[in-house]
């Protein structure tokens, strides 16, 4: 399945709309404005929270956790010492772990599970704001992959948000 994730450019907090390949808004991500660290709610089109994204404070490397209600789903760590690319380890509790690797300009990412492609993330085709095309293998949990994409964007483009 293919998705288009576009951050709204002029908002006080982080606010993303995610569309399916037919252009329908199927998910929304809303950030809390006055908090320490990032805290975001990943919601379906009806506003029901599917995943909660929380940044672990004072963690090195940058670490984010995903929750469904009170249940921990995944932990995402950005590797600090990689050259010419950006790498993220995504430990998924109920499934095998994922690895996301991006190129030097942070516009293209491949997410793999056990060496098998799980998703492809592309930013280079879009010029206005932070917009990504995300193609997810049908065997993968789209919500976990899309929430991981939000974390990757926050980690790699933090300076733009200040």
* pLDDT value of residue 150: 87
Spatial contact of 111 and 119, defined as CB atoms under 8 Å apart? yes
- Which structural domain, as residue segments, surrounds residue 98? 2-161
Q: What are the Cα distances from residue 13, in Å, to 33, 35, 135?
A: 5, 10, 26
Residue 9 pLDDT? 46
Q: Each residue of 101-142: pLDDT tens digit?
A: 987 666 789 999 999 999 999 876 555 556 778 999 999 999
pLDDT at 161 over 50: no
Decide: 155 and 62 in contact? Cβ < 8 Å.
yes
CA distances from 146 to 26, 90, 120 (A): 12, 12, 11
> Would you place residue 15 in the very low, low, confident or very high pLDDT band (cuts 50, 70, 90)?
confident
- Compute φ and ψ for 153, nearest 5 degrees: -60, -45
CATH number at residue 73: 2.40.160.200
Model's pTM, two decimal places? Answer: 0.86
Better-scored residue on pLDDT, 123 or 65: 65
- Give pLDDT, residue 92: 95
Phi-psi region of 42 (alpha: psi -120 to 50; beta: other; left: phi over 0): beta
Copy the structure tokens of residue 11. 């908002």
Per-residue model confidence (pLDDT) at position 13:
63
Total domains in the chain come to: 1
Question: pLDDT for 67-106, tens place per residue?
Answer: 999 999 999 998 876 666 788 999 999 888 999 998 766 6
61 touches 77 (CB < 8 A) = yes
């Amino acid at each position: 399945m293919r998705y288009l994730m576009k951050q709204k450019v002029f908002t006080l907090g982080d606010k993303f709309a995610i569309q399916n390949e037919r252009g329908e808004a199927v998910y929304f991500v809303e950030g809390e404005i006055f908090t320490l660290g990032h805290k975001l709610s990943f919601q379906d089109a009806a506003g029901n929270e599917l995943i909660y994204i929380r940044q672990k404070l004072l963690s090195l490397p940058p670490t984010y956790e995903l929750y469904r209600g009170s249940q921990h789903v995944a932990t995402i760590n950005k590797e600090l010492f990689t050259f010419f690319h950006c790498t993220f380890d995504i430990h998924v509790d109920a499934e095998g772990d994922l690895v996301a690797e991006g190129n030097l300009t942070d516009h293209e990412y491949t997410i793999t599970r056990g060496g098998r492609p799980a998703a492809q993330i592309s930013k280079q085709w879009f010029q206005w704001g932070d917009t990504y095309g995300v193609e997810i293998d049908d065997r993968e949990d789209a919500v976990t992959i899309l929430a991981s994409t939000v974390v990757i964007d926050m980690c790699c483009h933090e300076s733009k948000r200040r």
